[in-house]
Amino acid sequence: MAQTETCIYLGQELADYGFKDGHPLGPQRHDVFQAELIRLGLDRQLAIQKPVTASTDRIELFHTADYVDKVRDYSRSGQGYLDQGDTPAFTGMFEAASHVAGSVTDAVDRIMKGQFRRAFSPIAGLHHARRHVAAGFCVFNDCGIAIEYLRQRYGIRRVAYIDIDAHHGDGVFYSFEDDPDLIFADIHQDGRTLYPGTGFAGETGIGAAEGTKLNLPVAPFSDDAVFEEVWPVVEDYLRRQEPEFILLQCGADSIKGDPITNMEFSPAAHAHAASSLRRLADEYCDGRMLGMGGGGYNHDNIARAWTAVVDAMVKPL
Shortest Å distance, C-beta 224 to Zn ion: 18
x/- mask, Zn ion, residues 166-205, rule CB under 5 A, reads xx--------------------------------------
Candidate residues 51, 125, 243, 251; the one interacting with Zn ion per rule CB under 5 A: 251
Residues 81/41, Cβ–Cβ less than 8 Å: no
Q: Residues 6 or more apart from 69 whose CB is under 8 A from it?
A: none
Residues 275/248, Cβ–Cβ less than 8 Å: no
Find the part of the chain contacting Zn ion (CB under 5 A) among 81-89, 183-191, 223-231, 288-296: 288-296
Residues 292/252, Cβ–Cβ less than 8 Å: no
- Interface of this chain with Zn ion, residues 128 to 157, rule: CB under 5 A: none
Candidate residues 16, 253, 264, 311; the one interacting with Zn ion per rule CB under 5 A: 253
Nearer to Zn ion, 124 or 166 (CB): 166
Q: Residues 6 or more apart from 262 whose CB is under 8 A from it?
A: 166, 189, 193, 194, 220, 221
- Interface of this chain with Zn ion, residues 293 to 312, rule: CB under 5 A: 295
x/- mask, Zn ion, residues 200-239, rule CB under 5 A, reads ----------------------------------------
Picking from 157, 117, 167, 168, the residue whose alpha carbon sits closest to that of residue 241 is: 157
How far is 268 from 19, CA to CA, in rounded Å? Answer: 29
Question: Quick one: CA dihedral 278, 280, 282, 287, positive or negative?
Answer: negative
Find the part of the chain contacting Zn ion (CB under 5 A) among 2-10, 71-79, 241-249, 292-300: 292-300
Where on the chain is the footprint of Zn ion (CB under 5 A)? Answer: 165-167, 251, 253, 295
